[in-house]
Structure 1
Amino acid sequence: MVLGKVRALAVCFDTLNENNLPVFSGGELVSGRVLVDVTGDVRVRSLDVTARGVAKVRWTESRNAGANTAYTQNYTEEVEYLHHRDCLIGEDRDEDGVDEGVTLLHAGLHEFAFSFHLPQMALATSFEGKHGSVRYWVKAELQRPWMLPVKVKKEFIVFEHIDINTPLLLAPQAGSKEKTLCCWFCASGPISLSAKIARKGYTPGDSIQIFAEVENCSSRVVVPKAALYQTQTFFAKGKGKEIQQLVSNLRGESLAQGKSQSWEGKLLKIPPVSPSILDCPIIRVEYALVVYVDIPGGLNLSLSLPLVIGTIPLHAAASRTSSISSHGSASSWGGVPERPEAPPSYSELAFSEAHRRHCLRGGDECHEHEAAPLLAYISEFRYLPPPLYAEVDPYPDPAEACSVLEARTLDTCPSR
């Protein structure tokens, strides 16, 4: 009998996102199929599927002594998040019994389904860095008697969701700094910087509204700037390795001596970047918005505001809360409380009396307001004054009002 050959071995996932990528989160079901295409009859001992998820860190440091390298130190560390194994054909058996339990696959395409649940624990988000990575994959291995195994590996993506709609990530971030330039015995005036943003949490594609004030009392021409940085930190054998990358930046106008500049919500867009990784013990990915003053010939005056890049975007209600908390915040820096504003007047928020009468009678303008969100009605009626007390109906029926008016007129007219 002439045995066939394995033409192809492949792994396919059942669930793909809009970009045709297998993306999952902790606790979700991962399912798929192993495809085996053979040209003739093939004897198979086993077909195993192994799913793994590993965070791995590795870098090398060398110490030099003169012209020669004294020694080289390798730093490696690994954390396993997932390990699952299924046997789709055959069973685990001893290597000596190579002819026991052999399965014969006939010519053609064969499909074998597999499925498993990701752990409910917090998983590290898939990541590729300079000194480390977080990877998840499914590997299929086809074992045949007296032949080398056929293997294939297919990676999938895991996102550990970060919801930015939490009080901690919706809190405003602010700070202020001042610096005086000195040159020998000559000192110039100070340079002051204050900056504030509406919240700490953002998602890729959002724009950061930056409120900043810069005052230049020095003798140099300075330039206010802002930049978004990603910091990758890798840990192994009690030592850390840090890589910082520029993600996005913007530039203000140059400031001469005695000039000042205000940013009233200057926008810095966040490009597609990896979410923050905060729970992995050997890899951390963090972000910070750095608002700084570029000083020629001196150290820059900088202010760092930490950020968290999440995966669940801002909800509408949280967006309104965030905008209200940041409204008018350009005049308050460094945690100094703002002067409380006077409460709104009824004339600004309440309906006018004519408008209320018109609504009670079913005017067209009232029907237009019915299409507005319900929350708008709640905020409008919240500040309405209490109704005026009267024993007489303030909105009588027109016909009934006319008869009452005629009766009063007859009573007050002098008799002839």
Structure 2
Amino acid sequence: MTIKHFKIEYDAINSRNIFTNGDTINGRIILEASKKTKIQSLVFIAKGKALVRLVNYYGDIISREDVTDDYFQDKLKYYRIKQDIVKEGEQDGREVIEKGRHVFPFSFKIPNSRKIPSSFSSIFGQIVHTLKAELKQSKKLRRKAKTHFTFMGTARGSRLMARQHESVNKNIVLGSGKVTMDVHTRRSGYKQGEVLRVKVEIQNLSSRSVKAKFVLYEIKTFFGPNRGKIQKHEIQKEKSDAIESQSGQTTVIKEMIIPRELSPSILNCSLIRLEYMLKVYLEIPCETDLVVKLPIVIIPELSREGSTSGCSRSQTFASRNQPAWMSQSMEPPPSYEESAMYPLYPFGDL
């Protein structure tokens, strides 16, 4: 092989190596030749895609060819940007490069569209943002290199800052009296690390003692025709002291810190949805609970502090706790959030 090394890398613009709508990504394609050689074309491609795969799992791994009623796959393309670094057809279709290391810079701007969802990885679906280089030397000889970058879409809208309030009440069946619960939050949108302050007004005019409990949980939904997959996971649980019977009006304040490791909400993808919910319920002995559910939107932190512009980065969009792969012609396997008890289904070239 006359091409010894072929890879693509890019420059980070902040310490977290995260990009958002309208950001410009600068990078380079690096090619090392063992001797003077000819190339027909060199192309840079940036693209963003979502893919969902739903399989009814009964113990056997289902391959790509086994497309049955138990198998569904769908894909959405959000953008595809192509740049000819060495255009095919120039100099009779051949560009001669000398022996040694060659660097071909590129630069592209991420579309400033609110329809582009943030990076996401799960066994049932992925949202990936990819930088790719394709080298053509002859009709039969092609080389590819790619890497992923982490994209987080900006969250906008006045509704994220609007107060939330919901009220429920219940007449006691096995006893007497009535219980009323009003739940308030200052807003629905929060950044990682912020405090979610919940105010609960409880009017206990019953013969039962009651206790308020709080649960913050996430919901992952994967959509397919006539089917879907929903995963729920509790993130935090809190509780208050018991409120005695016939105690009248009581106000309970609970503060919950949004974990910094939470992924931002994904609400703009028709295949994959990542939501968070605050559930406040009033536990009443021998009675069904009073329940209020309020949506919580996790807003990404996109601060430009701690910029590392100029530092070379080549890594996947996997969570910040996972190791990065260096970009190379051999593609790394997809990363998954779920445990290894699930079968691993390769998503192929996104």
Fold conserved between structures, TM > 0.5: yes
Aligned equivalents of 1:237, 1:8: Cα separation in 2? 43
- Could you say which residue in structure 1 is the equivalent of 2:38? 43
1:205–1:271 contact (8 Å) kept in structure 2? yes
What letter matches 1:50 in structure 2? I
- Could you say which residue in structure 2 is the equivalent of 1:236? 224
CA separation of 1:260/1:139 partners in 2, compared to 1, >3 Å: closer, same or farther? Answer: farther
CA separation of 1:92/1:261 partners in 2, compared to 1, >3 Å: closer, same or farther? Answer: farther
- Could you say which residue in structure 2 is the equivalent of 1:106? 98
Deviations 1:12-49 (A, max 9, x none): 21343113x2x332333232110112333333232222
Aligned equivalents of 2:19, 2:177: Cα separation in 1? 56
2:278 counterpart of 1:289:
yes
- Could you say which residue in structure 2 is the equivalent of 1:169? 160
Aligned equivalents of 2:234, 2:221: Cα separation in 1? 15
- Could you say which residue in structure 2 is the equivalent of 1:138? 131
Aligned equivalents of 2:132, 2:263: Cα separation in 1? 25
- Could you say which residue in structure 2 is the equivalent of 1:203? 191
Normalising by structure 1, we get a TM-score of 0.61
2:240–2:252 contact (8 Å) kept in structure 1? no
- Could you say which residue in structure 2 is the equivalent of 1:121? 113
- Could you say which residue in structure 1 is the equivalent of 2:348? none
What letter matches 2:14 in structure 1? N
CA separation of 1:292/1:108 partners in 2, compared to 1, >3 Å: closer, same or farther? Answer: same
The structure where strand makes up a greater share of residues is 2
- Could you say which residue in structure 2 is the equivalent of 1:310? 299
Q: By how many angstroms is 1:173 displaced?
A: 0.9
1:276–1:285 contact (8 Å) kept in structure 2? yes
What letter matches 2:109 in structure 1? H
The structure where helix makes up a greater share of residues is 1
Bigger Rg, structure 1 or 2: 1
Q: By how many angstroms is 1:291 displaced?
A: 1.1
Q: Which runs of 5+ in 1 are unaligned?
A: 64-70, 94-98, 314-416
Question: What is the Cα-based RMSD across aligned positions, in Å?
Answer: 3.1
Aligned equivalents of 2:238, 2:248: Cα separation in 1? 18
Aligned equivalents of 2:100, 2:34: Cα separation in 1? 6
What letter matches 2:257 in structure 1? K
Correspondence list, 1:273-288, <5 A: 273-288=262-277
Q: By how many angstroms is 1:53 displaced?
A: 0.6
Q: By how many angstroms is 1:180 displaced?
A: 4.2
Correspondence list, 1:55-74, <5 A: 55-61=50-56, 72-74=69-71
Q: By how many angstroms is 1:252 displaced?
A: 1.6
What letter matches 1:151 in structure 2? K
What letter matches 2:106 in structure 1? F
2:8–2:30 contact (8 Å) kept in structure 1? yes
CA separation of 1:223/1:103 partners in 2, compared to 1, >3 Å: closer, same or farther? Answer: same
Aligned equivalents of 1:5, 1:299: Cα separation in 2? 73
Determine which of 82, 85, 89 is the counterpart of 1:85. Answer: 82
SS of the equivalent of 1:58 reads strand
1:163–1:311 contact (8 Å) kept in structure 2? no
Deviations 1:257-310 (A, max 9, x none): 445784554211111322222222222222221111245665432111222222
Aligned equivalents of 2:164, 2:44: Cα separation in 1? 48
2:8–2:147 contact (8 Å) kept in structure 1? yes
Aligned equivalents of 1:310, 1:81: Cα separation in 2? 21
Aligned equivalents of 2:249, 2:217: Cα separation in 1? 23
Q: How many residues align?
A: 291
SS of the equivalent of 1:72 reads coil
Normalising by structure 2, we get a TM-score of 0.72
Deviations 1:67-116 (A, max 9, x none): xxxx73323222211112222224169xxxxx963333323211001222
1:142–1:151 contact (8 Å) kept in structure 2? yes
